[in-house]
Amino acid sequence: MLAPGRSCPSSYRYGPRALRAEPSLHAESLWIAGGLYGNAFALAALLEAYAREPGRKALVFNGDFHWFDVEAADFGRINDVVLAFHATRGNVETELATPQDGVGCGCGYPDWVGDDTVRRSNRIIERLRATSGRLPHTLAPLRALPMHLVARVGDARIAIVHGDADSLAGWNFSQEALATDSGLSDARKAFDAAGADVFASSHTCLPVLQSFPGGRVLVNNGAAGMPNFRGERCGLATRIALSPADDAIYGVRCAELFVDAIPLRYDHAAWEEHFLEQWPAGSDAYESYFRRIVDGPEYSRESAVRAIGSDPICSTK
């Protein structure tokens, strides 16, 4: 039995064949925002950017929209806004709505994440549970959210997950796993098993845009609600569309499909102040995340954009 925060419960597992389902969403522009982490300022920036998108569009929050929002008013507001769009649950929402013994935050943390971080995350979910417990009407809708969605954009099948093709809290779509030959090989098998042209994920906190031969793309938006690169204070959302984005910070075009990373330039000063009201110096979220919120993680845009060989179908920008 793995320690709380490291295990991946059997109820989280669905397997790639579950992603062969008929698409439930059809759009010309599909926006996907995972890892909002309770940042209402990033949510406002996202909605503003999404409002400017013309045509037939859809917005999906693919999990972990709650995390830092331990103030009940924040939690309730974010819950209401997110659930007005399409949403899937992440491990955070699952462990709020259906807490399981010994699972902790449900993050399924791998070896490279230290024990201190894991313990702090387990305490963060406990504090957030106290908040959601004061808003019990929010729990049934969270419990009812699916773990994955399939969408169609043009002719492309988009499999939207929180973790990876196997499970809600899987790390196979992390930048770390995709930096290995075995990780890339596993991902290619997942495309075959799921019948997907694009996988859109989140959960692992760092973004990656990995192109595969044959016009397949795996896009992990990192975090919508936290900085993703050293020295850059913006969250990221994924946009998958039949037209290019105006303001992508990087992207790839595969035939008719544009897969872009959209920056969410939220009010950093206001968010920092609000974060500190909820998580002052010495608190668990402060210890785990404050440096990242201020400076960004030790990661760069250049490290996030990856391709295997050269593919005549796809070109990065």
The residues that touch Fe ion, with contacts defined as CB under 5 A, are: 64, 90-91, 203
* 116: CB partners within 8 A, 6+ apart: 287
Of 70 and 161, which has the nearer Cβ to Fe ion?
161
Question: Of 29 and 88, which CB lies nearer to Fe ion in the complex structure?
Answer: 88
Which CB atom, from 91 or from 122, has the smaller least distance to Fe ion? Answer: 91
What lies within 8 Å, CB to CB, of 240 at 6+ separation is: 29, 30, 32, 153, 156, 158, 198, 200, 219, 257, 258, 259, 260
Q: How far is the CB of 203 from Fe ion (least distance, A)?
A: 4
Q: Which is nearer to Fe ion, 109 or 258 (CB)?
A: 109
* Residue nearest to Fe ion as judged by C-beta position: 203
Would you say 104 or 215 has its CB closer to Fe ion? 104
Buried b / exposed e along 195-219 (16+ C-beta atoms within 10 A):
ebbbbbbbbbbbbbbbbbeebbbbb
CB of 56 to Fe ion, least distance (A): 29
Residue 19: CB minimum distance to Fe ion, A: 18
What's the min distance (Å) between Cβ of 63 and Fe ion? Answer: 6
Closer residue to Fe ion (CB): 91 or 138: 91
Q: Which residues contact 82 (CB under 8 A, 6 or more apart)?
A: 36, 43, 61, 65
| Cα distance between residue 60 and residue 210, in whole Å | 20
DSSP H or E segment with residue 122 = helix 115-133
Look at strands 235-241 and 250-254 and give their pairing.
unpaired
Note whether 15 and 157 are within 8 A (CB).
no
Give the contacts of 223 (CB within 8 A, at least 6 positions apart).
34, 35, 36, 37, 202, 205, 207, 235, 236
| Distance of closest approach, residue 31 Cβ to Fe ion, in angstroms | 19
- Nearest distance from C-beta of residue 34 to Fe ion, angstroms: 8
Closest CB 107 distance from Fe ion, rounded Å: 6
Name the DSSP class of 11.
Answer: G
Q: Specify the amino acid at residue 244.
A: P
Cα–Cα nearest to 103, from 205, 1, 13: 1
Nearer to Fe ion, 29 or 121 (CB): 121
